[in-house]
């Protein structure tokens, strides 16, 4: 893998080339499924059920929302309890994630980044973007958070882009977006936190929010090509995680959104862009709600397609249902065992240094 990072960032993303520990050599089907699930938490402290799932390896991570805590101290305690449960069960460490992009999207409002992506874009300084990422990573790590679902790498095609209108994009230029998003991601790695480039293969053309609508992007491959530039640069720099979008791209796959498209997640991202890290869906609950289908059905499609991590933003009861559905499908041979195992090993390798 080609990695051009500082020492601390290298220590984070370099885990991708580490072989899984011996304990991961023969995981049970429950572990193959459980490690794929990044779930959400009900309330302001981990429930006994959620802690038990962490202890038994039936979840791989938890996304913390702003509604789950009132202070940074409470967030730190949530992360501590969850990781303690995983250790008690001799499980791999959990991914503890937040959305800390800057601007309007900051789960922890009191810590960096102090500049939004548009503000950093206007400054145009890679050094500033990297410093903001470094400070953000260090602050998150201090709170027990080890993944930031940032930076956004979407290149808006016009002011009609919903991502632009939400104030989450860096620039209308793909090269500038690539340079600054990559710098922020590298900064997160410097601070000891895993960065997540999103939303592959790009949502800059979309005018409606994929959390609320079924979005079909009919652009040609040549028109979509600039949106791939930030990912090409980030892959070359060893980005550890890529989030796949909930939109459908006719140029690549007419039937499946990126999160559950093998043509996009494997052929395009892993094949053509040579990405060796971990893939994650965008919120499957949001996508399911927009489509009027059960989250379980989309989770099964994503697992079959080989997407590594499945992001579940619904209730704990809903994510328990997804686990049961996937477990039943895996035991019935409906999910290729090779894909389950490959995802598991990528996930555990990434967790090795957490």
CA-closest candidate to residue 251, choices 219, 278, 281, 277: 219
pLDDT at 353: 79
Residues in the chain: 354
Residue 13 scores a pLDDT above 70: no
Average pLDDT over residues 194-222: 98
Mean pLDDT of the chain: 93
Average pLDDT over residues 18-33: 68
pLDDT at 8: 41
Count of other CB atoms within 10 angstroms of residue 43: 10
Residue 56 scores a pLDDT above 80: yes
Q: Return the SS3 of 258.
A: helix
User: pLDDT-based confidence at 15, cuts 50/70/90?
Assistant: very low
Residue 22 scores a pLDDT above 80: no
CA separation (Å) from 19 to 15, 95, 189, 346, 349? 9, 19, 20, 9, 6
CATH of 7-13+29-38+104-351, one of 3.20.20.300, 3.40.50.12240, 1.20.1270.360, 3.40.50.300: 3.20.20.300
Residue 1 scores a pLDDT above 90: no
Average pLDDT over residues 321-340: 97
- Residue 228 phi, psi dihedral angles, 5° rounding: -85, -20
């Amino acid at each position: 893998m080609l990695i051009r990072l500082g020492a601390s960032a290298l220590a984070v993303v370099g885990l991708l080339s580490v072989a899984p520990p011996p304990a991961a050599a023969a995981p049970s089907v429950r572990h193959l499924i459980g490690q794929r699930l990044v779930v959400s938490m009900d309330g302001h402290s981990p429930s006994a059920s959620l802690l038990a799932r962490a202890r038994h390896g039936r979840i791989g991570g938890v996304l913390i929302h702003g509604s789950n805590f009132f202070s940074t101290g409470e967030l730190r305690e949530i992360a501590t309890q969850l990781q303690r449960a995983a250790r008690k069960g001799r499980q791999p460490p959990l991914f503890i994630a937040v959305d800390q992009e800057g601007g309007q999207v900051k789960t922890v409002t009191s810590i960096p980044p102090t500049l939004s992506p548009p503000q950093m874009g206007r400054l145009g300084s890679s050094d500033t973007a990297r410093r903001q990422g470094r400070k953000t990573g260090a602050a998150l790590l201090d709170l027990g958070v080890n993944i930031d679902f940032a930076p956004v790498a979407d290149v808006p095609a016009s002011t009609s882009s919903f991502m632009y209108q939400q104030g989450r994009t860096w620039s209308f230029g793909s090269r500038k977006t690539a340079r600054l998003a990559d710098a922020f991601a590298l900064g997160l790695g410097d601070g000891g936190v895993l960065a997540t480039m999103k939303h592959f293969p790009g949502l800059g053309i979309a005018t409606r929010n994929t959390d609320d609508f079924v979005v079909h992007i009919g652009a040609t491959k040549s028109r979509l090509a600039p949106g791939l530039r930030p990912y090409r640069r980030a892959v070359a720099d060893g980005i550890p995680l890529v989030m796949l979008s909930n939109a459908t791209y006719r140029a690549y796959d007419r039937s499946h959104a990126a999160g559950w498209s093998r043509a996009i997640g494997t052929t395009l991202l892993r094949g053509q862009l040579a990405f060796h890290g971990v893939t994650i869906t965008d919120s499957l609950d949001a996508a399911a709600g927009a489509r009027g289908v059960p989250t379980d059905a989309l989770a099964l499609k994503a697992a079959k397609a080989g997407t590594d991590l499945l992001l579940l933003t619904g209730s704990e009861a809903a994510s328990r249902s997804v686990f049961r559905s996937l477990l039943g499908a895996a035991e019935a041979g409906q999910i290729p065992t090779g894909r389950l195992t490959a995802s598991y090993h990528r996930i555990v390798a990434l967790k090795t240094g957490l």
